[in-house]
Structure 1
Amino acid sequence: MNGTETGNVLAHLTPELLAAVGGALVFLLALAAIVLVRRMSDRSGRAVRERLDALAMALPDAQPVDIVRRESMSEVPLLNRALERTRWARNVGELIRQGRAPGNPGMYILLSLLIGVCALYVSLVLSAGPLFLLLGLGAAFAPFAWLKRRKAKRMARFQEQLPDALDLVARAMKAGNTFSGGLRMVADEFEDPIGEEFRTTMDEINFGVAVEQAMLNLLARVDCDDLKFFVVSVNVQRETGGNLAEIIGGIAGLVRERFKLLGRVRVLSAEGRISAYILIALPFIVTGVLYLLNPEYMTTLFTTEVGKRLIQGALGSMLLGSLIIRRMIRIKV
């Protein structure tokens, strides 16, 4: 089949594809509108919040506590039942909880589908190449990338606070406080995220959860490798005995030394990161300068078929090169 016949086939298929994609886009927009309307008209949830606020006002000295458990995957019942059966939807919910992001998994999944359908529709309308189509569909994963970045920032902050928090627990136990008392001090003295997570652990212990299980729940909520040493040491010590204060103090020193090593690694890999930034930005800078100096010379690159293919190949090579460089300079400590 030659190029003319291929173009004729695509010309016949494009209206049907556009109609199908347009219908899917309208469906997703309608579903998103339903979710927003249901969220805005949540009378039962609003009534519960108003009653809790009234109780809090009746007790001026009491700290407001949200006791409403929200674990739904979506505001749409049908979508909620479908997402509850899938593991990847639960993984998205875990990202939302660990990153303290707003919304629920259904909202981010619908947003991702909407971005993907819009990218497909625009690519078909503009008759763009396959690389632009792949880039547009890759943008559909932007909501999940934002969730991962938010989680990573929160977990990094938790890891920074962990040595000081462990030192506080060790000093509190040496001063005669119990282990739970040391956890309470951390919950009261530290900000989010470590203060919030330890406060949740203390609430579980106060409501009757065993200390070992509460610590395991803390480990499940927080994605931090250094926290595993602390949780395992506490659970083992409660079964075998030993000086828990000295153990916790040693773990705090170990975490600090690990941070120092990580800092040295980042300094040594800084040259590779800067080189990656320069290599990625240089083609765009050169293209912009050449376009300002000689627009007609650069216009050929964007208007001819060969020029478009060269642009697609360059973008694909840059993407592959950036991934390789990122893999080379990413060193786990």
Structure 2
Amino acid sequence: MTWQFAAILGGVALVLAVLLWAVWEFVASSEQRRLIAARSALAQADYDASTPLARLDVALHRTQWGARLSRRLARSGTEIRLSTFLVSLVCGALLAVVVVWQILAPMFGLLAAVGVAFLFFSYLSRAEAKRREEFTGQLPDLARVLGNATSAGLALPTAVAIAADELDGPAGEELGRMAESMKLGASFEESVAELRERMPSRELGVLLSTLIVASRSGGSLVSALRNISTTLENRKETRREVRTILSETTSTVWALGAMSVGALFLLNMIQPGIMRTMTSQPAGIGLLLVVATLFVIGFVAVSRITKFKM
């Protein structure tokens, strides 16, 4: 048991090291923001690019999967660097392997590492979906602001910049990016395409298609935007009702998953070593694989059933 205790202590020490590193990164970033006024812009950019995390970010962005993951982090709205996300994931997986390996069995240690990765990416997916829902909920206000701006005789790029200043949350941020893109020389259609890629939504697609048609051929844009605003408001209420009905099912699935994991630790606590004995026999391994497969099938089935598009 001495080496097992030492392994657990090593895992705890690893987590503490990661926490200290995160605190150091926070303090360092605060200090950098404080000193940015005393530095020139070029010197500050050189300093930021020379940090180990910045170099790791550059190396990860050169890979296809790293660039894709970076876009997902940007869409989620979480101010987390790509390198920080991956380092935290690896450290959490290693800690799960060490602790669960010693408490239950080696097989469960490997499954725990997979579970940690699943939780990280599930959190990322939920953050993306939440920000997308918040953006979709602001579309009626966006259509209303654009309609008022265009009725005052303003051009669409100017109306977008005004909406970016007036709206809060994800809509204001995304419209600000769109306005900056047009200031840098991108056309209205290119900026719209970038926005649709960052925020894929059927409601946004209808709104942006209306704006593109109006920018090309003209027409009664004000009345169209007001009609779209009313329609989007009704769709938002309907989506809220449907999501409330389905939330009970999804919460039950997550609760059952947590209870099944807790049951493993409870059984091992009641009968110490039972999980290690079970995973040492082919019949026990087969039974655990069947149960895990059924849980995965049920989780995927419920996820698909509760997923809806309007």
Task: Give the TM-score normalised by the residue count of structure 1.
Answer: 0.66
Where 2:191 maps in the other structure, the secondary structure is: helix
Where 1:193 maps in the other structure, the secondary structure is: helix
1:126-163 deviation digits (Å, cap 9, x = unpaired): 46153453133221343333232222222211110111
* Cα distance in 2 for residues equivalent to 1:117 and 1:108: 14
Aligned match of 1:299: 270
* Cα distance in 1 for residues equivalent to 2:288 and 2:97: 20
Deviation at 1:114, TM superposition (A): 1.7
Q: 2:232 aligns with which of 249, 255, 261?
A: 255
Aligned match of 2:195: 218
Deviation at 1:263, TM superposition (A): 4.1
Contact between 1:158 and 1:194, CA under 8 Å: does it hold in 2? yes
Unmatched runs of 5 consecutive residues or more in structure 2: none
Identity %: 21
* Cα distance in 2 for residues equivalent to 1:313 and 1:119: 22
Contact between 2:157 and 2:179, CA under 8 Å: does it hold in 1? yes
2:237 counterpart of 1:237: no
Change (3 A) 1:239 1:153: same
Could you tell which deviates more after superposition, 146-155 or 252-261?
252-261
- Counterpart of 1:147 in structure 2: which amino acid? L
Contact between 1:154 and 1:193, CA under 8 Å: does it hold in 2? yes
* Cα distance in 2 for residues equivalent to 1:217 and 1:70: 30
Contact between 1:164 and 1:252, CA under 8 Å: does it hold in 2? yes
2:180 counterpart of 1:203: yes
1:105-125 deviation digits (Å, cap 9, x = unpaired): 111112212222233333444
Q: How many residues align?
A: 293
Aligned match of 1:122: 99
Change (3 A) 1:262 1:107: same
* Cα distance in 1 for residues equivalent to 2:161 and 2:33: 31
2:37 counterpart of 1:50: yes
Task: Give the TM-score normalised by the residue count of structure 2.
Answer: 0.70
* Cα distance in 1 for residues equivalent to 2:144 and 2:81: 36
Aligned match of 1:3: none
1:203-242 deviation digits (Å, cap 9, x = unpaired): 3334443333332333233333322222222223222232
Contact between 1:212 and 1:235, CA under 8 Å: does it hold in 2? yes
Aligned match of 1:111: 88
- Counterpart of 2:73 in structure 1: which amino acid? I
How do 1:61-100 residues align onto structure 2 when only pairs under 5 Å count? 75-76=52-53, 79-100=56-77
- Counterpart of 1:145 in structure 2: which amino acid? S
Change (3 A) 1:270 1:121: closer
Where 1:231 maps in the other structure, the secondary structure is: helix
Where 2:138 maps in the other structure, the secondary structure is: helix
Could you tell which deviates more after superposition, 310-319 or 112-121?
310-319
Structure number with greater Rg is 1
How do 1:157-236 residues align onto structure 2 when only pairs under 5 Å count? 157-236=134-213
Where 1:262 maps in the other structure, the secondary structure is: helix
* Cα distance in 1 for residues equivalent to 2:297 and 2:33: 49
1:35-82 deviation digits (Å, cap 9, x = unpaired): 986886679955872248x99xxxxxxxxxxx979997x844663453
- Counterpart of 1:252 in structure 2: which amino acid? S
Contact between 2:246 and 2:306, CA under 8 Å: does it hold in 1? yes
Change (3 A) 1:145 1:283: closer
Change (3 A) 1:81 1:174: closer
- Counterpart of 1:204 in structure 2: which amino acid? S
1:163-220 deviation digits (Å, cap 9, x = unpaired): 1210221133224333334323322322111122223323333444333333233323
* Cα distance in 1 for residues equivalent to 2:201 and 2:246: 23
- Counterpart of 1:49 in structure 2: which amino acid? I
Change (3 A) 1:321 1:212: closer
